[in-house]
Structure 1
Amino acid sequence: MPLQPLIESLVRLNDEHKSMLKLAQGKKDAVMNNDVDNLIQILNHESRLMKRIDQLENERQEHCYAYIREKGIKSLLNLNLTELSRLVFDPQEKQQLKDIQLELANTLHELKQLNDLNQQLISQALAFVDYSLDLLGASPGDEPTYAHPAGKTNSTNRAGLFDAKA
């Protein structure tokens, strides 16, 4: 089958994205449990996996170009899978291509949702850390109540627990 190398590269690409999905779940757990060491390990593994996905994407593109050339098209069009499936006339190959396209799309959608959730969790964690530092750095004279601006003095009594300018 002339389309088989492309389908195999898409299957490997989907498998690597599923691995990314597992890492994203682990990242979510690490952020929720405040496990920084595990988060760093996951990020390192994720970086290596991204390089592998990039290699597989280049391989997929090469197989796509090879298939297009085999069909007699001399242009190096950057076709997506839907456009490429229009060039496939064998019903079995066309179905295989559509199946892996759907599976890959579902995996990528799930990965995007989990990454969006992780981004929100990290933003919330950073906001909490910032709020906590503000509380620790506040001086005892800072009252959370209203004071007339004319009655305020520009001097501060003492620095907070942490020197914010350091």
Structure 2
Amino acid sequence: MALTRLLELLERLDETHLQMLDLAAIKKQTIMDNKVDGLIDIMNRESKLMKLIGQLEEQRAEAAFTFLQGVGIRSNLNLNLTELSRLVFDPEDKSRLQQVQQKLSNTLHRLKKANELNQKLIEQSLTFIDYSLDLLVGRPNQDFTYHHPSDKGYSSTRPGLFDARG
């Protein structure tokens, strides 16, 4: 009974993480399309899913503890799923637990890769915005007084990256 509850919670965790993975794909396109409103909406949806994941994790920990008590372990050990599967002796249950573990592990790995890509895209977008602002308004520490073109210090403080004079 306790193992069944644990397996159900692991399945729900996987489903919720798959929803996060779907949002990560939508977020990627939203970032590339530069849709700020859409990004805010996605972040709100992610926040709700993260709250649900937190609740499911708490329930999973309780179910794992209940399972441990059922097999005669009274202390609250923080075992990972591989260690927990060693305490499951029914081959069918053990196989099901290992399948759910592998499925959840794959989903988490894919989600991690998607989040890393989205983070890089956001960093590139911010770098581009910073570069664009520098081109439009110049560097903040730029001296706005006139300098004769033959002045040596003038060329080093020139705004932008290109020198049209060649």
The interval holding the TM-score normalised by the smaller chain is 0.7 to 0.9
Determine if the alignment matches structure 1 residue 32 to structure 2 residue 32.
Answer: yes
How far apart are 1:38 and its partner, in Å?
Answer: 0.5
Map 1:104-123; keep pairs closer than 5 Å. 104-123=104-123
Provide the residue aligned with 2:58 in structure 1.
58
Question: Structure 1 unaligned runs (5+)?
Answer: 157-166
SS in structure 2 at match of 1:26: helix
TM-score by length of 1: 0.84
Q: Percent identity?
A: 53
Question: Structure 2 unaligned runs (5+)?
Answer: 158-166
Q: Deviations over 1:109-164 (max 9, x none)?
A: 0000000000000000000000000000128x99xxxx88x6336xx9xxxxxxxx
Map 1:124-163; keep pairs closer than 5 Å. 124-138=124-138, 151-152=152-153
Q: Which amino acid aligns with 1:152?
A: G
SS in structure 2 at match of 1:42: helix
Q: Which amino acid aligns with 1:69?
A: Q
Alpha carbon RMSD of aligned pairs, Å?
A: 2.5
SS in structure 2 at match of 1:151: coil
TM-score by length of 2: 0.84
- Mapped to 1, the partners of 2:129 and 2:83 lie a distance apart of 48
SS in structure 1 at match of 2:34: coil
> Does the 8 Å contact 2:2/2:63 carry over to 1?
no
> Does the 8 Å contact 2:2/2:66 carry over to 1?
no
Q: How many pairs does the alignment contain? A: 151
